[in-house]
Amino acid sequence: MTDRLYSDPDLVQFYDIENIGGDDFNYCVGFAEDARSVLDLGCGTGQLAAALSHGRSVTGVDPASPMLDVGRSRPGGDKVDWIEGDARTVRLGRRFDLVLLTGHAFQVFLTPEDQSAVLRTIAEHLAPDGLFIFDSRNPVANEWQEWTPRRSERIVMHPSLGAVKSWNDFECDAVTGIVTYSTFYEIPGGDKILGAESKIAFPAKEDLARMLNEAGLLVEQWLGNWHGESYVDSAPEIIPIGRLR
């Protein structure tokens, strides 16, 4: 599950530059206000976990050790319990007031079996009155159509490398719906291009609803974006919020 985009330190150094804060970060900070304990599955470089660590117990789980290394070194990182683990199989022997899985991390699990395993992990770690929240891109929005080299080309300002040209490309499997996307960084002053290929799934809302129910999870609200608006069929996001059934 740890492709080079998340496991190669040369690529990990760009992650925070391209993924600073955002609407999901802001929403989850507010959503966690009353939680005394938080489990951040697929925590990545730990931006959210570290931000939530003041005044509560926070555990961050991720399979990529270079991402966790970044988390440990960031302000507030010393207050987080960082665990290298797989969201499908990790069992911590405790329950949390809030379990979250953001940054579309759920989509790296490509099969219904793996997706169901992640949902069972959420259920296994929820306190009786705890809440869960996670996000997945709505397949009807066809967001991957924007991931062409022409549409995605951008300049990333790296603190030591300067202006780095970056772009994406993709292929979509019409049978499985799995999108294979590539990420590239052209390092200035030479011919070096860093690149990685990743695969993500786009499960439909009805499939998510079925798997959530089978995992023993009750969805109390479906959001369609990180501004808190209710889900509609054309929404860009599928964001279930709920608790144990």
Mean pLDDT in the chain? 96
Q: Which residues pair with 60 in a beta bridge?
A: 40, 82
Give tens-digit pLDDT for 46-72. Answer: 999 999 999 999 999 999 999 999 999
DSSP string of 212-230, one letter each residue: HHHTTEEEEEEESSTT-PB
At 2 the pLDDT is 64
Residues 6 or more apart from 75 whose CB is under 8 A from it?
Answer: 50
With 0.75 as the threshold, say if the pTM is over it: yes
Q: Which H/E stretch holds residue 108? A: none
At 203 the pLDDT is 98
At 189 the pLDDT is 83
pLDDT band of 16, cuts 50, 70, 90: very high
Give tens-digit pLDDT for 131-187. Answer: 999 999 999 999 999 999 999 999 999 999 999 999 999 999 999 999 999 999 999
Give tens-digit pLDDT for 117-146. Answer: 999 999 999 999 999 999 999 999 999 999
DSSP string of 143-196, one letter each residue: GGGG-SHHHH-EEEEETTTEEEEEEEEEEE-TTT-PEEEEEEEE-TTSS-EEEE
